[in-house]
Structure 1
Amino acid sequence: MALSPQWLDELRARITLSSVIGRTTKLLRAGREWKACCPFHNEKTPSFTVNDEKGFYHCFGCGAHGDVIRWMTDQRGLSFMDAVKELASEAGLEVPQPDPREAKRAEQRAGLHDVMQAAQDWFVNNLAEPRGAAARKYLMERGFDARTIQRFGFGYAPGSRIALLDALGRFDEAMLLEGGLRIAVEGKEPYDRFRDRLMLPIQDARGRVIAFGGRILPSQQPSGNDSAPKYLNSPDTPLFDKGRTLYNLHRAGPASRHSHRIVVVEGYMDVIALAAAGIEDAVAPLGTALTERQIEMLWRLVEVPLLCFDGDTAGQRAAMRAVTRALPLLRPGYSLAIVRLPAGQDPDDLIKAKGSTAMEGLLANPSSLLDTLWEHEREAKPLNTPEDKAGLKARLLEHVEVIEHPDIKALYRRELLDRFSAFAYPPRAPFTPHRKFARPTPERLSGHSAKLLRGLVQGGGRDNLASAVIAGLARFPDQIHRHAEALAAFETTDAETTQAINILLDHAETLENRAAVPIKSLESLATPPDQARRYSFLMEDQNPQSAREDLAEAVAMLVERPAIEAALAAATARFEIDPEGAIAEQQRLRQRKLALEERLRQLARQRVAGSTQEDSSPAAVHPAQGEQGMD
C-alpha cells in the first residue's frame, strides 16, 4: 500500500513522540526536550534525546535517529504498515485504501533509488582507477584527506558519452533518463549527462542518493564561448526537487542538535571544506537561491539559522535574496542571521589562511536580518541628495510591507525609520555666534510663537492628542529631532495644529546638542489642563525615560490616525469593484483603529494610576472620547 507524504505528515503531527517512547523508556525533561539512556545501546550517561516539536529522536552516542514510525519499526520490531496502522488507530486517522497509481509511482521511486545508488558505486570505483588520476590530483590539491573523500562519496565520471549506459546496462535506459543520468535530445542519440567530472552524491534526509553534482576538472576547463559550466547538478526528477533539498542535511541535522546552530553556505564544496575543518553543521542550497521551503526546513532545526555567503558581490546578492525570501515568513522567535566573510574569500580560503578558529569567530558574531537589511540598502546607492535619501526610505518601507506578521512588521517599521531619521537628520554642530553679537537663547521661543502654542494647548485645541503631543515636545525638546520626519508628514486639516508643529520643528534647529531641558517660555505647558493632561508623558512624577517612550508612541499614533481614516475611505471607495477585498481591508483597518484607541486608553490609565485621586475623572479614563477623527 502506498501512503502519500501528506498523509504520513498528518499522522506524525497527531502523535506526541515522547508519549510513545515514554511507554518503554524512562524520559527526563531537559528544557524543551526529553533525555534518556539510549534504548538502542548500553550507556550510563544519557545521550538519547526526544524533541516533540520537531518530531524526532536522536542518540549522540550510537547515531540512532528517526520519527515515531521509525521508533515503532526499530524498537518495537513492527513492519512499516503495522506501525502505521497502530499509530493511525491511536490518532483517530483512517488508513487510506490502496491506490494502484500511487503504488506504481512508489515502485518507480524505489527502482530509481537502486539506479542512483548503482551510479554512485560506479563513480566511486572510477575515482580509484587510472582514469580517475586527474580527479584524485584535484582533491589532493584541495587538501581533502582520504577520510573526507570516502565520507562524502567523491567519484569520477569518465569523458565518454555512453560509459554510464554501458556500466549500468542492467537497468532500462528509460530509468537512466528519468533519474537525470542521461539526456535525450530529439533527433540525436541519448548521452551521459556527467562527463569528465568530479562527482558528488546528493542525498535526502535519510541519506539515500537522489541526485548528483559534478565539478569540471581544472585541466579540462574549456575556454571561449564553448566553456562548460563549472558545476553541473542533476535536473529535477521524481526523487530530486532542488528547491526542497539541502545538501548535507542528513549529516548536518544531527550535528546541529549538538551545536544548536545550522550554517548555510553557497555550495557543496564549501560544506565539505567546513566539515574537513571540524565544522559539521553546514548545508548548502543546490544551484538556486534559498527557497521558502528550504527556510522552513532550516527552522525545524534551529530558530535562527546562520547564512554564511562569500565576501564577493555575488555572495552578498545571494544573502539579500535569502533575506527578501524570509521577510514574509518571519514569526516570533524565528529569523535569519548573516555572516559576512572577508571580501574575495569563501570558507575554504578563510580556513586555509587563518584556520578554523577564525571561521568559528565569524560564526559566533553574525549580523541580524534587520542590520543586514539596513546596511545593504544604505550602501546600495549614493546618498548625496535629499532625493537619494528619500529613495533609501522608500526602499526600506518596501521591505517592511512584505512582512506578514503584524507585530514584527510594526517593529521593523519603527526600528528602520528610527535608523533612517538618525542618518538623514544628524545632530547639527553647536551654533557659534559672531563675536559682535550676543548669543541667542534657543531655549526660549519668540513671544508670538510662545503665545500661539499656549493658546492651542491650554485652550484644548480641536484635537486633544495633538495638544498633548505638542505639550510633550515642549517638555522634552530633545525628542523633536527624533520625530521630525514623522511630524513633517503629519496630515491635519487644523491650521493651528499645523502651525504649532512647524514652530516646534523650526525651533528645534536652534537647539544646541538637542537640549533636553524644557523650553523655558513654555514651562507652563508641562502640565496643561483639561483633556490633554490625561497622558502619562505629561505627569510631573513620571520617569523621564518612560515619558519619552510614551511620547514616541503618542507621536506614532497621532501620525497613523489620519492615515487609517484615509485608508478606510479608500477601501470604502473600492467596494463597487472589489467588495470582498474592500470588506477585508475595512475589517483589518478597523481592528488597527480599535487597537490604537485601546493604547490611548492605556496611556491615560498610566496617568490616572500615578496621579492623585482628584485627577481620576471619567474623562481621564476614556481618552478616545472626544478625539478628533477617531470615530
Structure 2
Amino acid sequence: MNNNPNIVDEIKSKVALSDIIQKYVAWDTRKTNSTKGIYWACCPFHSEKTPSFTVDNIKKTYHCFGCNASGDAYQFLMDIDNISFLEALTKMANHCGIKLPEKGNFDPVESQKREILYKINSEACDFYIKELNKSENSHKFEYLKKRGLTTENINFFKIGYAKGRGELISYLQSCGYNNRQIFDAGLIIENDKGEYFERFRDRIIFPITDTTNRVIAFGGRDLSGKAPAKYLNSPETKLFQKKSIIYNFYNARKSLKPDKKLIVTEGYFDTIALVINGYESSVASMGTSLSVEQINQLWQISSQPLLCYDGDTAGKNAAIRVIELIFPILKPSFTMNFLFLPDAMDPDDLLTNHGSDALNPLIASSVSLIDLFWDKYMSLSDYGTPEGRAKIESNMMNMISKIQDVEVKKHYKLEITSKLSAYWKSKSFESNKIFFIKKKANLPSEELISKSNKKRIPDSISKEEALYLSTIIRYPELTGGFLDQIASIKFHNENTDLINKEIIDFIVANRIKNEQFNSIIEYLNENGFLKILDDISNFDFERMYDFLSKQQELSKVEEKFKNILVEVNKHQLIWELEEAKSNYSDSPTEENASKLEDLKHRLQKIRSDAYMSTSDNQKNKKGFDKWYEENKSRLEKKDPI
C-alpha cells in the first residue's frame, strides 16, 4: 500500500479529531465549547488534575500546555497506542470507512488464503476457550487458578484447552474448512498414511497474536506429563514466523507508559504472571533465543527493553548471545538492559513466593548492555600480565567494530578505552592482581549477577540462622544473659531479621520462661510466620541436638549458645565478604579494597578465636588423660560404687 498524500489528507478530513481522542479522555464540560469545535481535558500523556490538553476540530490539531504534546490525529494514535504511521492510517481508515489502496505487488489470491488462515485461527481460539469452560474439563480450569489466574485473567488472555481427539477437526470442517486449509493453519499434522491428527493434545492453549491482535498461532502447555516437550508452538505458517513475533505485544504496547519498563521474558506463563501482578507492559520471546527481528520489534515501543532471564546457565548464555546479536544494529538512544533472577527461579516463582512487588528491586538494579559487555570479557580472562590485558582489549575492540552506527561505535570505543586505562592504572588493580583468576565459562560472572540482585529477595533461611532461632525459642531465658549480643545481630536475610525482632520483643514484653516456649510458637503462627517455622522444622534439629529435644539446665545450654552465636556472626561476615567482593569487582576503589581487607581480617579473627577455644579444650582433655593414666591403677583398686 502506498502512503498517497491525497488519501492521507482525505481520511483526516473525514474524521473529527475529538471523536478519535474522546476514547482516551473525559472532556471538561466547563471549558469545552463543542459548537466552536474546542475541547479541553486532562492530558492523556502525563498526570495532571487541571485540564491543560486542548483539541481544535477546525485546525484538526491537539496541544497540551503542560507537557507540550501536540500533533494531528495520526500523531495522537502513534503516541498513545505506540503504533507506526501505517497502523495509525489503517485505524483511521477503518474508523471512517475508507478502503485503502493495496500495494503495487498485491496478490488477491494470496491475500484470500491469508484471510482464511486468520478465520481458521479465530474459530480455533473460540473452540479452545469453550472446551476449557466445559464442566468435564473443570480440573483444567482449576489448574490455571492454582497458578494464580482468576477467571478474568483467563478470559483476558483467551486461554483455552485442547483435548486433541479430533473434536477441533470436526468443528472446523463443519465451519466449511477442508483439511488442507486446517493443516496450513498449523493446527493438524499428517501421518504417512495421509491421516490427520490434532497438533495439540491435552494442553492448555495460549493464543499468539500479531501486532493488530489477530490470532496467528498457538502455544500449548502439556498437562499429561508424558509429552516430550512441556511447551509446543504452532509450526511456521504464512501468518506465523516465530523469530518475528513477540507474545502479548499488542497488549503491552497499549499499556506501556513513559514511566514503565517493557519487560521481556522467555515464556507465556512468565509474562502472564507479570501482567496479573501489575507489570502490564510485559512480553515474551517464546524461548531463550532472541532474534534481530524481535529486537527491532521491541524497539518500536521501547528504546530500552528490559530482558528478564532466569538465573540458570541457560539464562546467562541467552544474555551473552544478545550481545552478539545487538551490537551490529545498535543505534543512538536504543539499547537493552538485563535482569537476572535468583537461581532456580523464573518470574512466576518469584512473584508467587515473594509477592507482587518482588521484582521492583531487581528492576531498579538491572544491568546495562555495556556492563554486561564489560563483564563478558573481564570475567573470562587472566589479566595479570601485559599480554593478557592486550588480548582483552583486542577482543573488546573487535566486538565494538561490529557496531554499524558510527556515533555509537565511537562512544563505545571511548567508554571502554577510558575504563580499561583507568582500571589498569588503579592501585587497587596493582595490589590485587594475585586474586585474578581465569573463569571456566564465557558467562556473566557471579559478581555481575550479584550486582543485579543486590536487593534481591533473600535466599532460604540458613542452617546457622535456623539453629539460632530454634534455640532462642526453646530457651527464651537466654535473652537475659545474651541480650546485648542478640540485639547487635543484623541478619542479611530480611525474613530472619524480622522474626528475630518479633521473638525478642515478645519474650521481653511478656517475660516468657523456658517452660512457656510454646506460647512463642503460637504467637508466631498467629502473626504470619508459619512458613519460616516450617523452614526451621525442616532441619530436624531435635533429632540432631539433645538440648532441643528435651529441656536442659540453662547453664549447660549457655555454653552451646555461645558457639551458636559465633557461627551466626561468622555466617553474617561471610555474607558481607561476598557482597564486598562484588562491590570491589564493580568499583575497584581504595575504599572498597580497604573494606574487603577489613572483613577478611574480621573473619580470620573469628576463625582464629574459635580455633584457640578448640585448642584450649584439647589441652584440657590431654591434661585429664595424663592425670587419668597416672592414677589409673589407684582408681581401679577402689571398691566399685
1: CA distance, partners of 2:374 / 2:14: 48
Question: 1:143: Cα distance to partner?
Answer: 1.5
Question: 1:73: Cα distance to partner?
Answer: 3.0
Give the structure 1 partner of residue 123 of structure 2.
118
Secondary structure, in 3 states, of the residue corresponding to 1:335?
A: coil
Kept in 2, the 8 Å contact 1:211–1:233? The answer is yes
Kept in 2, the 8 Å contact 1:12–1:68? The answer is no
1: CA distance, partners of 2:188 / 2:253: 31
Question: 1:315: Cα distance to partner?
Answer: 1.1
1: CA distance, partners of 2:15 / 2:70: 16
Which amino acid letter does the alignment assign opposite residue 25 of structure 1? L
Verify: 1:67 aligned to 2:88, yes or no: yes
Give the structure 2 partner of residue 529 of structure 1.
none
- Which runs of structure 2 are paired with 1:411-426 in the superposition (5 Å)? 411-426=411-426
1: CA distance, partners of 2:258 / 2:424: 44
- Which runs of structure 2 are paired with 1:438-453 in the superposition (5 Å)? none
Give the structure 2 partner of residue 180 of structure 1.
186
Are residues 144 and 430 of structure 1, via their aligned partners in 2, closer, same or farther at CA, if it must alter by over 3 Å? closer
Are residues 57 and 403 of structure 1, via their aligned partners in 2, closer, same or farther at CA, if it must alter by over 3 Å? same
Deviation track 1:254-274 (CA, whole Å, cap 9, x = no partner) reads: 111354531111111111000
Kept in 2, the 8 Å contact 1:38–1:59? The answer is no
Which amino acid letter does the alignment assign opposite residue 208 of structure 1? R
Give the structure 2 partner of residue 367 of structure 1.
367
2: CA distance, partners of 1:250 / 1:336: 20
Verify: 1:163 aligned to 2:184, yes or no: no
Deviation track 1:394-437 (CA, whole Å, cap 9, x = no partner) reads: 43223212111122212212322333344455427999xxxxxx
Question: 1:379: Cα distance to partner?
Answer: 2.5
Kept in 1, the 8 Å contact 2:164–2:199? The answer is no
Deviation track 1:574-608 (CA, whole Å, cap 9, x = no partner) reads: xxxxxxxxxxxxxxxxxxxxxxxxxxxxxxxxxxx
Are residues 130 and 376 of structure 1, via their aligned partners in 2, closer, same or farther at CA, if it must alter by over 3 Å? farther
Give the structure 2 partner of residue 440 of structure 1.
none
1: CA distance, partners of 2:360 / 2:14: 37
Give the structure 2 partner of residue 208 of structure 1.
214
Secondary structure, in 3 states, of the residue corresponding to 1:356?
A: coil
Give the structure 2 partner of residue 248 of structure 1.
248
Question: 1:20: Cα distance to partner?
Answer: 3.9
Kept in 1, the 8 Å contact 2:252–2:280? The answer is yes
Question: 1:209: Cα distance to partner?
Answer: 0.8
2: CA distance, partners of 1:372 / 1:228: 34
Give the structure 2 partner of residue 233 of structure 1.
233
**Selected match of 2:225 from 221, 226, 250:** 221
Give the structure 2 partner of residue 145 of structure 1.
150
Verify: 1:57 aligned to 2:61, yes or no: no
Deviation track 1:263-314 (CA, whole Å, cap 9, x = no partner) reads: 1111111110001101100111133622222222222212211111112121
Kept in 1, the 8 Å contact 2:245–2:294? The answer is yes
Give the structure 2 partner of residue 282 of structure 1.
282
Deviation track 1:97-151 (CA, whole Å, cap 9, x = no partner) reads: 6x6x711111111111111011111111111224434422321221111111111
Are residues 22 and 120 of structure 1, via their aligned partners in 2, closer, same or farther at CA, if it must alter by over 3 Å? closer
1: CA distance, partners of 2:258 / 2:197: 44
Question: 1:197: Cα distance to partner?
Answer: 0.8
Are residues 330 and 56 of structure 1, via their aligned partners in 2, closer, same or farther at CA, if it must alter by over 3 Å? farther
Are residues 428 and 232 of structure 1, via their aligned partners in 2, closer, same or farther at CA, if it must alter by over 3 Å? closer
2: CA distance, partners of 1:165 / 1:52: 49
Secondary structure, in 3 states, of the residue corresponding to 1:283?
A: strand
2: CA distance, partners of 1:181 / 1:144: 26
Which amino acid letter does the alignment assign opposite residue 166 of structure 1? S
Give the structure 2 partner of residue 469 of structure 1.
none
**Selected match of 1:136 from 132, 137, 141:** 141
Are residues 428 and 253 of structure 1, via their aligned partners in 2, closer, same or farther at CA, if it must alter by over 3 Å? closer
1: CA distance, partners of 2:143 / 2:219: 16
TM-score, with length taken from structure 2: 0.55
- Which runs of structure 2 are paired with 1:322-471 in the superposition (5 Å)? 322-380=322-380, 389-427=389-427
Give the structure 2 partner of residue 78 of structure 1.
97
Secondary structure, in 3 states, of the residue corresponding to 1:416?
A: helix
Secondary structure, in 3 states, of the residue corresponding to 1:235?
A: coil
Kept in 1, the 8 Å contact 2:184–2:237? The answer is yes
Are residues 252 and 166 of structure 1, via their aligned partners in 2, closer, same or farther at CA, if it must alter by over 3 Å? same
Are residues 13 and 78 of structure 1, via their aligned partners in 2, closer, same or farther at CA, if it must alter by over 3 Å? closer
Give the structure 2 partner of residue 490 of structure 1.
none
Kept in 2, the 8 Å contact 1:312–1:344? The answer is yes
Give the structure 2 partner of residue 505 of structure 1.
none
Give the structure 2 partner of residue 605 of structure 1.
none
Kept in 1, the 8 Å contact 2:288–2:315? The answer is no
1: CA distance, partners of 2:254 / 2:352: 26
Secondary structure, in 3 states, of the residue corresponding to 1:183?
A: strand
Kept in 1, the 8 Å contact 2:309–2:315? The answer is yes
Secondary structure, in 3 states, of the residue corresponding to 1:338?
A: strand
Which amino acid letter does the alignment assign opposite residue 317 of structure 2? R
Verify: 1:38 aligned to 2:31, yes or no: no
Verify: 1:304 aligned to 2:304, yes or no: yes
2: CA distance, partners of 1:375 / 1:351: 28
Structure 1 gap segments, 5+ residues each: 28-35, 85-94, 432-512, 515-631
Question: 1:176: Cα distance to partner?
Answer: 0.9
Secondary structure, in 3 states, of the residue corresponding to 1:252?
A: helix
Verify: 1:25 aligned to 2:17, yes or no: yes
Kept in 2, the 8 Å contact 1:245–1:294? The answer is yes
Secondary structure, in 3 states, of the residue corresponding to 2:358?
A: helix
Deviation track 1:63-83 (CA, whole Å, cap 9, x = no partner) reads: 9x9602322331xx23323xx
Kept in 2, the 8 Å contact 1:183–1:193? The answer is yes
TM-score, with length taken from structure 1: 0.56
Kept in 2, the 8 Å contact 1:251–1:281? The answer is yes
Deviation track 1:509-540 (CA, whole Å, cap 9, x = no partner) reads: xxxx99xxxxxxxxxxxxxxxxxxxxxxxxxx
Question: 1:166: Cα distance to partner?
Answer: 2.0
Secondary structure, in 3 states, of the residue corresponding to 2:379?
A: helix
Give the structure 1 partner of residue 475 of structure 2.
none
1: CA distance, partners of 2:43 / 2:182: 42
Question: 1:383: Cα distance to partner?
Answer: 5.3
Count the aligned residue pairs. 392
Secondary structure, in 3 states, of the residue corresponding to 1:115?
A: helix
Secondary structure, in 3 states, of the residue corresponding to 1:168?
A: helix
Secondary structure, in 3 states, of the residue corresponding to 2:348?
A: helix
Are residues 392 and 51 of structure 1, via their aligned partners in 2, closer, same or farther at CA, if it must alter by over 3 Å? farther
Secondary structure, in 3 states, of the residue corresponding to 2:413?
A: helix
2: CA distance, partners of 1:13 / 1:405: 35
Which amino acid letter does the alignment assign opposite residue 150 of structure 1? N
Verify: 1:104 aligned to 2:124, yes or no: no
Are residues 40 and 309 of structure 1, via their aligned partners in 2, closer, same or farther at CA, if it must alter by over 3 Å? closer
1: CA distance, partners of 2:13 / 2:351: 42
Which amino acid letter does the alignment assign opposite residue 168 of structure 2? L
Are residues 321 and 96 of structure 1, via their aligned partners in 2, closer, same or farther at CA, if it must alter by over 3 Å? closer
Give the structure 1 partner of residue 516 of structure 2.
none
